[in-house]
């Protein structure tokens, strides 16, 4: 079951793609086979440091094939890429709209990273 993951703030129909991967409130996990989704709280959210690394490991552990995110720190990106997860740049707004854009081939690969927030 290929899974597509997005960082989100809020839950249910009110959720929006988060501006921050490591500090997102939760992860929206879409199953391309069942056309359904689940949400998981971000275990790294309250971490004083290394939130992106913890979030990346959670995405790997969830079995993601694809991550849609607005940006990533370099350490999180290394973890995700080493696990074979494809990275794409998300758009602001609802997770479902991003899933539709991804499935239509409209999202671009996420190649740029930043040095990380380091406890911010």
pLDDT level of residue 48 (50, 70, 90 thresholds): confident
Is residue 71 one of the residues assigned to a domain?
A: yes
Is residue 48 one of the residues assigned to a domain?
A: no
Q: What are phi and psi of 94, to 5 degrees?
A: -80, 145
Q: How many CB atoms are closer than 10 A to CB 117? A: 14
Is residue 46 one of the residues assigned to a domain?
A: no
**In angstroms, what CA-CA distances link 106 with 11, 25, 79?**
25, 26, 25
CATH of the domain at 88: 3.30.420.130
Q: What are phi and psi of 17, to 5 degrees?
A: -60, 130
Is residue 108 one of the residues assigned to a domain?
A: yes
Is residue 38 one of the residues assigned to a domain?
A: no
Query: What does the pLDDT look like over 53-96, one tens digit per residue?
Result: 999 999 999 999 999 999 999 999 999 999 999 999 999 999 99
Is residue 119 one of the residues assigned to a domain?
A: no
**In angstroms, what CA-CA distances link 38 with 3, 17, 31?**
10, 14, 8
Is residue 37 one of the residues assigned to a domain?
A: no
Q: What is the domain extent for residue 1?
A: 1-30+53-114
Query: What stretch of H or E contains 30?
Result: strand 26-31
Is residue 44 one of the residues assigned to a domain?
A: no
The tally of domains found in the chain comes to: 1
Three-point CA angle 8, 14, 20, nearest 5°: 20
Q: What is the pLDDT of residue 120?
A: 47
Q: How far apart are CA 31 and CA 99, in angstroms?
A: 10
């Amino acid at each position: 079951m290929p899974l597509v993951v997005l960082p989100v703030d809020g839950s249910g129909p009110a959720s929006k793609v988060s501006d921050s991967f490591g500090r997102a409130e939760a992860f929206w996990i879409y199953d391309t086979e069942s056309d359904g989704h689940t949400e998981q709280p971000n275990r790294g959210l309250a971490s004083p440091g290394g939130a992106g690394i913890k979030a990346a490991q959670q995405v790997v552990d969830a079995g993601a094939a694809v991550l849609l995110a607005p940006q990533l720190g370099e350490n999180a990106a290394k973890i995700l890429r080493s696990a074979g997860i494809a990275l794409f740049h998300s758009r602001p707004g609802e997770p479902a709209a991003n899933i539709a854009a991804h499935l239509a081939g409209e999202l671009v690969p996420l190649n740029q990273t930043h040095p990380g927030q380091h406890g911010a």
